[in-house]
Chains A and B, each alone.
Chain A
Amino acid sequence: MRERPRAAAADGRDAASTRAWEVAATVTDPEIPVLTIEDLGVLRSAEADGDRAHVTITPTYSGCPAMDAIRDDVVLALTAAGYTRVDVDLVLSPAWTTDWMTETGKEKLRRYGIQAPTGRAAHRDGPVRVQLAVKCPRCDSLDTRELARFGSTSCKALYECRSCLEPFDYFKVI
């Protein structure tokens, strides 16, 4: 179980695998194009041996339609980088969590107008769901309210800011 995919690549056995990681890490989310799959924590591992590459990714949500596109794009990116045999595996376990999103990724999200997950995912047996205030990505106000728990995609909720009156997306903690 690897909690930190980037560290796993950096510690990786060889430079070849690190290179495959770096190529796969250029793939972006089709619905949030400012985020790479590395930023999202979707890229779990990459290994290379000669012209073969083996990449493991994890779905964000079970039904997320972006996964097909991401998998396509990983194959295309690695093929374009010269790998002739590319395997991409999807792993469900350990289940993806927004805790794996990188700080860089969260900052990019905010600049893109989507508030990043606030706090960390609850311990599964935790007793209470604490609703932390969600900051407006435009004006930084904490005076916001949830309009809809389920937003334009599974991963987002729709909020409005009561200070600047703008609606915004919030990337839910999961």
Chain B
Amino acid sequence: MSHDAHGDVTVDVLELADELAGAGGTASEEAAEYAMRLGDDALVLAQRLGAWISRAPEIEEDVALANIALDLIGHARSLLHYAGTASGRSEDDLAYFRDEPEFRSAWLFEQPNGDFGHTIARQLVAAVYLFELYGRLTASADPTLAAIAAKAVKEVDYHRDHAVQWVLRLAGGTEESRRRMIVALADIWPYVDELFRDDELHDALGEAAVRPSTLREPFDAAIAAVFAEAGLDEPRTSIARGGGRRGIHTEHLGPMLAEMQVLARAHPGASW
């Protein structure tokens, strides 16, 4: 027995998500597909937000967006780890070694950062939606999904608050900030609808999943309250076709994935 704690002792490389007791189960094929959708939403949004680091309007915002991205990466790890149990793949396999058509994220999350107003508009929609989603998913019949959601909802609550504060500030700020907030919301709004579309996967999962259409009403109510306080009207825009859940994406996802995946693909299996 060595008294030097770092002497004889070897600690295996830690696979954090492997140890998640809450995620101890093996996902059914349907649950894996569902977890992949949620995990991809979180991963893609985290990557987008990470691009603000060193670019945000103030240093506190660099830190805030990075913190939010970090929470989302945590959610993505848990969800993709669980998704991977159905096919023997790790969360890294799923994040770095799937191509664009295999991603299941909705179009909203892959939209470019645009100016800060666009990022905040996307954050408002994402955080309000995720808060409603995870709040309901805590009652999932699938204990792993319920555990991940119970953890995530508390964090997403802070993300929602952050986005709402910024919407109020930008909408009530200068003429220019208000103008940009309105433009950004109009640009983001076509991608809202896709988040609430049901498909056969939700039929198959039953009580294990949250039926997206049932989230529309609380989402609209929460957004209406923010818009009322900010003196904004809900944008009247067309609705984007969508298709992310089936692997059909906008032209924005590919370049983002290329940047996210290049290092892992150049040095497969490397650790650093």
Interface string of B146-180 (1 = CB under 8 A from A): 11101111110010011001000000000000000
Interface with A: B28-36, B70-78, B209-217, B232-240, which one? B70-78
A34 interfacial by beta-carbon distance below 8 Å? no
Contacts from A to B (Cβ < 8 Å): 56, 59, 61-65, 67-68, 71-72, 75-77, 79-80, 82, 88-97, 121, 124, 129, 147-154, 158, 172, 174
Interface with A: B5-13, B196-204, B258-266, which one? B5-13
Pick the 4 closest A-B CB pairs, nearest first: A62-B74, A63-B74, A148-B60, A150-B64
Would B60 and A147 count as touching, CB distance under 8 A?
Answer: yes
- Chain A residues near B148 (CB-CB < 8 A): 92
Partner of A149, one of B72, B77, B162: B162
Interface string of B130-157 (1 = CB under 8 A from A): 0000010000000100111011111100
Which B-chain residue is minimally distant from A152 (CB atoms)? B63
- A133, chain B: closest CB distance, angstroms: 18
* CA–CA, A7 and B222, complex, Å: 41
- Chain B residues near A150 (CB-CB < 8 A): 60, 63-64, 66-68, 158, 162
* CA–CA, A77 and B3, complex, Å: 10
Total interface residues on B, CB under 8 Å, equals: 44
B221 interfacial by beta-carbon distance below 8 Å? no
B20 interfacial by beta-carbon distance below 8 Å? yes
Subset of 17 A-B contacts with CB under 8 Å: A62-B71, A62-B73, A62-B74, A63-B75, A63-B77, A76-B5, A80-B3, A92-B150, A92-B151, A93-B143, A93-B147, A124-B135, A129-B161, A150-B63, A150-B67, A150-B158, A154-B71
Would A80 and B5 count as touching, CB distance under 8 A?
Answer: yes
Partner of B5, one of A77, A148, A151: A77
Partner of B11, one of A59, A65, A75, A95: A75
